[in-house]
Amino acid sequence: MKLISSAIVLALAGANVHAVPAFDEVRAAYRSSDAELLDRHGVAIQSLRIDMAVRRLPWVALGDISPALPAAVLQAEDQRFYEHNGVDWSAAAKAAWDNLFRTRPRGASTITMQLAALLDPALQPVAKGRNWGQKWDQVTAARELDAQWSKQQIMEAYLNMVSYRGELQGVGAAARSMFGKAPSGLDSSESVILASLLRAPAAGQKMVAQRACSLAHELQLPSTCSEIQLRIIVAWSRPQLAGKLAPAPQVAQQLLTRSGQAVRSTLDGGLQRHAQAVLRQQLAALNGRNVNDGAVVVLENASGEILAYVGNAGGSDVDGVAALRQAGSTLKPFLYELALERKQITAASLMDDTAIDISTGSGMYAPQNYDKGYKGYVSARTSLASSLNVPAVRTLMMTGMERFHERLRDVGLSSLTQPAEYYGYSLALGSAEVSLLELANAYRVLANGGMYSAAMLAPQAAKAPQPRRVLDARAAFIVSDILADRAARSLTFGLKNELATTFWAAVKTGTSKDMRDNWCVGYSEKYTVGVWVGNFNGQSMWDVSGVSGAAPVWRDVMDYLHRSTASRAPKPPAGVVRQQIAYQPELESARGEWFIAGTESPLVTLVHDEHRAPKILYPGDASILALDPDIPDATQRVFFLAQGGQGLRWQLDGEPLAQASTDYAWRPTPGQHQLALIDANATPIATTRFQVRGVSQQ
């Protein structure tokens, strides 16, 4: 028979052969070969095998074992179990007499004697069998066991510790692996099969069938030999015992490998399974766009406990929550928070979203927006909410790369190990690699008004470290208000999208260079949710934006969290004031705006800049454009681009067109053309002449 687990051996090895351990000690020292991951409610959600020598499941109480099994075991192993005191002397005498005349010796070990050998390695037989000293020690230990333990305790421990077949040790593993059921569900046929395995766990099907058939006859069971044989064939052909459904394998690897038993985590089992299912559904929907992988993490804002941790959708060993990927635009909120905190800008400040070339040590850097166009002058609120790239780079030039780099480290992005110069101005657009867990926890800092604390997967046994302030509470509040402003983000995303929840939530999307990574991270009053989708192998996605990629998963998880829980906007901290503002010229609508006290202003005016006099950037004067004969006329466009076009309009060949504050797409026609920027009085401010050559296909 196989030994009990090494944990019990170590616990009892110090005792001599006559020192009988208490039943409670043996049960407490028992170790399942599978460690279980429990959620925050104590419900098992994941198992992980940690002992490869044997296969054991958790200890099973005698009351949870079908009565058919003890009855079969008693008939097969120890019919006078309830009558003797641990040793059946009459059976021993008969066995000794029979062994004088038989070539195959017969044993007379009682269940209690077998249990004594399971508890003490010194009593285990060696290759030549037990010597007389071992036999006497086994008898002595069995008598002491019987004197100190109840018969029910002896039977319970024996059924949990004895080997049945192969690596299966204990009734829990045997019943589950061989018959696919709990020990409480074993019927009489299954019980005689298990009892027949005790004398020779390695016996073949034919021998086990003979023993089980004979045992069923002795017990006068209705089972036929043919039925028992069929049960054995099915049991032997069943696949090996498998672990439970794996909704949290990455968490199990982190927590269970450090412990041999059930470990309680901070996860919420229902939320974990829902997040995993939603991620799988979204990846299936994006299958035609080369999106194969994703990850989700959910944090509780107040405690930092991780409520859901989906490292991947189930088809990979990669942990997408911990893997490093380019952050994209998800770093912008921390850049604007820094500029607000330093009072370099306000949420109402006008930001310049026009073409810019920045000289760097490695050449010219020319950031572009996601849509390749420019919006002219827009407020900082609109710049952040609509995720405009050029204003973000200009903001980084104000704050300085070193300060911004330090700020990202402050909010917990430990992967930014290179100096600020390594990332350059593209740091504003998320060129640095971060993990989803650290990024989500950084957003949790914003949700908590600038207070940082680490995220955790296991409940804190001791008092958790006190949160520390890393962001200005006033600036963090204003950034949260911006990220929750669906009107401010409508310039890029429109009013109706997956970011527009029915409850208060602040959210930001991000897409890395070449569409390799797609993020959506946001928070409500109580929860922070982070989602990443892309490809673990680094391949680019095909035409997937933040709203169409990660955002649907974020929205679904957020809706699940708030199906019966409200989310209220945060209260403004001390030192924040609300001021009604207007713009001159009217670049944005008049509205109420939040300011850090002392920075408020009722009027935001665009100061004339001689270096930014109104100018037509494209097409240039005397340009010659050519129609493409391979492209239908209806789809060909020329984009008019202006500098300082706020308050002006486009005029082509004397006909007024749209406002010049944004790019204008014109369908070209052959011939000479004159393009102008005109003011409210139709006075030309800047003009250019260009020619379109080619033959129209119409």
Whether residues 507 and 595 fall in one domain: no
Whether residues 453 and 601 fall in one domain: no
Whether residues 553 and 415 fall in one domain: yes
In a domain, 43, yes or no: no
Query: Which residues on neighbouring strands pair with residue 330, listed in sequence order?
Result: none
Whether residues 389 and 294 fall in one domain: yes
Edge to edge, what strands does the sheet with 684-693 contain?
Answer: 623-626, 684-693, 671-678, 649-652, 655-659
Helix (H) and strand (E) counts in the chain: 22, 29
Q: Helices (DSSP H) in 219-287: which residue ranges?
A: 225-237, 249-256, 269-285
pLDDT of the residue at 130: 56
Whether residues 105 and 222 fall in one domain: yes
Q: Are 413 and 438 in contact (CB under 8 A)?
A: yes
Closest by Cα among 616, 668, 621, 683 to 645? 616
pLDDT of the residue at 8: 39
Residues in the chain with pLDDT < 50? Answer: 1-17, 96-97, 99-106, 243-245, 610
Q: What are phi and psi of 151, to 5 degrees?
A: -60, -35
pLDDT of the residue at 216: 93
3-state class of 445 per DSSP?
A: helix
Whether residues 288 and 226 fall in one domain: no
In a domain, 543, yes or no: yes
H helix or E strand, kind and range, residue 377: strand 376-379
pLDDT of the residue at 9: 38
Whether residues 214 and 321 fall in one domain: no
Query: Is the C-alpha dihedral spanning 411, 308, 257, 26 positive or negative?
Result: positive
pLDDT of the residue at 494: 84
pLDDT of the residue at 45: 81
pLDDT of the residue at 104: 42
CATH of the domain at 81: 1.10.3810.10
pLDDT of the residue at 541: 93
Residue type at 672 in one-letter notation: Q
Whether residues 651 and 597 fall in one domain: no
Q: Which residues contact 224 (CB under 8 A, 6 or more apart)?
A: none
In a domain, 261, yes or no: no
Rounded to whole angstroms, how far apart are CA atoms 698 and 695? 9
Question: Within 10 Å of residue 207's Cβ, how many Cβ atoms?
Answer: 14
Q: How many domains does the chain have?
A: 4
pLDDT of the residue at 620: 79
Helices 171-179 and 188-197, packing angle to 10 deg: 120
Whether residues 447 and 317 fall in one domain: yes
Q: How many residues does the chain have?
A: 698
pLDDT of the residue at 135: 78
H helix or E strand, kind and range, residue 437: helix 436-447
Domain boundaries, position 600: 576-605
> How does pLDDT run across 465-512, given as a tens digit for each residue?
889 999 999 999 999 999 999 999 998 888 888 899 999 999 999 999
In a domain, 38, yes or no: no
Last residue of a domain, one of 237, 258, 286: 237
Q: Which residues contact 689 (CB under 8 A, 6 or more apart)?
A: 621, 622, 672, 673, 674, 675
pLDDT of the residue at 464: 72
pLDDT of the residue at 6: 37
> How does pLDDT run across 642-657, given as a tens digit for each residue?
877 777 899 999 999 9
In a domain, 191, yes or no: yes
Closest by Cα among 249, 263, 346 to 595? 346
CATH of the domain at 687: 2.60.40.10
In a domain, 570, yes or no: no
3-state class of 23 per DSSP?
A: helix
**CA separation, residue 169 to residues 9, 193, 540, 647 (Å):** 15, 15, 49, 82
In a domain, 649, yes or no: yes
End-to-end CA distance of the chain, in Å?
Answer: 91
Last residue of a domain, one of 183, 211, 237: 237
Strands 655-659 and 649-652: antiparallel
Strands 649-652 and 671-678: antiparallel
Cis check: omega of the bond before 619, within 30 degrees of 0? yes
pLDDT of the residue at 642: 80
Whether residues 511 and 597 fall in one domain: no
Whether residues 352 and 206 fall in one domain: no
In a domain, 19, yes or no: yes
**What radius of gyration, in Å, describes the C-alpha atoms of the chain?**
37
Whether residues 595 and 635 fall in one domain: no
HEC per residue, 474-530: HHHHHHHHHHCCHHHHHHHHCCCCCCCCCCCCEEEEEECHHHCEEEEEEECCCEEEE
Q: Which residues contact 362 (CB under 8 A, 6 or more apart)?
A: 424
Query: Which residues on neighbouring strands pair with residue 365, listed in sequence order?
Result: 358
Q: How far is CA 175 from the centre of its chain?
A: 34
